[in-house]
Amino acid sequence: MILIIGGGIIGLSIAWRLTDIGKKVIIVEKNNLAKEASWAAAGMLNGRLDLKPCEKKLLPVFEKSSSFWPKFVEELENKSGKSVDYRKEGTLMVACNSYEEKKLKNNYNFLKNNKINISWLSGDEIRNKEPYVSNNILSGFFSPNDNHVNNRYILDALITILKKNKNNCIFKENTEVEKIITNKNQVIGVKTKNETIKTKEIIVCSGAWTSKIKNIEIKEAPIRPVKGQIICLKIPKNISLLKHILWRDNVYLVPKNNSYLIIGATVEEMGYNKSLTVGGIYNLLKDAREVLPAIEDLSIIESTSGLRPTSRDDAPIIGPSKKIKGLIYATGHHRNGILLAPLTSSIIKNYYLNGRIESDFNNFKPGRFAI
C-alpha cells in the first residue's frame, strides 16, 4: 500500500489517479482533509500571468497543466456527480499608477514574447469590459483564455470519488506524520504520535509542513511556509459586479458563480503562524477598493488564511528521492497547487506505470538546490 502524506489538492489528486490504475493508498493528514492551503484559495488557473522572466521554466508546465483541466473536470464531475464550477472568463491585469504600469508592461512583453494570447488595453477599454471598475485604472492587459474553479467544490468531488473506492483508499485524518522510518536507506514506514504505519512506498504531499517531518532530507526538499490571507464577500444576486478575474499587483478579485467575490492574497513569511491580521485584511480591502469601489457596500462573510509551500525557486519538487528508496516528493507548489494538480497527479501516475519521471520535468527534481 502506498502511503500519501497530506490530504490537500495534490495528495487527493494523486490518490485518485493511483487508485484508477489499481493501486491501494492510505492518505495520512495532520488535520481534517482538504482544510489547509487548498481550502484557503481562490481557484485561479492563471498562474502564468504573474511569472517573471527568471521563472520562465514554469511557463510550459503551467500551460501543460492548464490543458489538462478540461478533461480533469469532465472526469471529476462524471465520477463524483458534482459540479466544480469550472469557468472560462479571462483575466484583466490592471495598473493604477506609473510604477504598476511599468511593471505590468514588462510582464506583458515577457508573456507576449512567449506567444501567450493577451492584448494591451487602455483604462477606458477596461472600463468598457467592466463598468464598475475605478477610474484609477490607467491601463492593463486582457488574457481571454484563463479559467478558474471553485477549489472547495474540487476538493469535495475528489473526496467523494475516493470514499466510493473504499477498497483501495483509506483515510487517516488528524494524524500527523512525525518521522519517516527507514532501514538501509529504504522506506519501511512512518511514525505518528500514536502509532507506526508500515509501508515501503511514501509520497510526500505535505505542503508547507514538509520540512517538519524527520528524515526528510533538507537538501532535497527545502520548503518554507508563506502565509496567504483571503477574504470572501457576498454579492447581491441582482448585481453583476464583476465578470472577469481582476488582478492588480498585490491583490486579485475573483467572482464566483454562487454570488461571492474572493479577494486575496497576502504574501507573508511568518513561519507557521496562520493568524488573520488587521494589517493583512486592511491592505487587501484597501487595494481592492481602489480598483472596484463598489465592494465597500458588500458584506464580509469569511476571512481565512493558508500556508503556501514554497521552495527556493518557487517551483514544485516532484520525483523520487536520491537518498531514500521508496520516497517520492510531490510538494512545493507555492501558490499554484490547484493549477498544477492535474499535471502533478499525471506525472506520479506515469512514474508508477513506467518507473521514471518524464524528462520534461527534470527541472523540478528533488535535490536540485545547493546548500
Q: Is the pLDDT of residue 80 over 90?
A: yes
d(CA 356, CA 338): 24
Answer yes or no: is pLDDT of 370 > 70.
no
Concatenating the DSSP letter of every residue in 84-111 gives: ---EE--EEEEESSHHHHHHHHHHHHHH
Residue linked to cell 497543466? 65
Cβ(62)–Cβ(339) under 8 Å?
A: yes
For residue 4, pLDDT over 70 is answered with yes
Closest CA to 223 of 206, 242, 236: 206
Rounded CA separation 141/93 (Å): 5
Domains and CATH numbers, the chain: 2-73+151-223+312-364 (3.50.50.60), 91-144+224-310 (3.30.9.10)
* CA atoms of 14 and 7, how far apart (whole Å): 10
Rounded mean pLDDT, 18-28 = 98
Mean pLDDT, rounded, for 204-229: 94
Four-point Cα dihedral 119, 121, 125, 126, nearest 10: 90
Query: 76 or 89, which is more confident?
Result: 76
Confidence of residue 52 (pLDDT cuts 50, 70, 90): confident
- For residues 34-49, give the mean pLDDT: 95
Quote the pLDDT of residue 142: 98
Element (H, E) at 187: strand 186-192
Q: What is the pLDDT of residues 355-365, one digit of tens each?
A: 999 888 888 99
What do you get for the CA distance between the two ends of the chain, in Å? 33
- What integer pLDDT is reported at residue 371 of this predicted model? 57
What is the Cα–Cα distance from 132 to 15, expressed in whole angstroms? Answer: 43
Tell me if 139 sits within 8 A of 120, measured CB to CB.
yes
The whole-number average pLDDT for the span 100-111 is 96
Cα–Cα distance, 123 to 313 (Å, whole number): 34
Instruction: Say whether pLDDT at 327 is over 60.
Output: yes
Task: Give every CB contact of residue 240 below 8 A, 6+ residues apart in sequence.
Answer: none
Query: What pLDDT, in 10s, does the model give residues 220-229?
Result: 999 999 999 9
**pLDDT for 108 beyond 60:** yes
Report the pLDDT value the prediction gives residue 367, as an integer from 0 to 100: 86
Rounded distance between C-alpha atoms, residue 145 and residue 46, angstroms: 9
> What pLDDT does residue 237 have?
85
pLDDT band at 54 (very low <50, low <70, confident <90, very high): confident
Helical residues (DSSP H) of the chain, grouped into ranges: 9-20, 59-80, 98-113, 123-129, 151-164, 278-291, 337-354
The mean pLDDT value for 16-24 works out to: 97
Look over the chain and give the mean of its residue pLDDT values, rounded to a whole number.
Answer: 95
Q: Report the distance separating Cα 56 and Cα 311, nearest Å.
A: 16
Check whether 287 has a pLDDT greater than 70.
yes
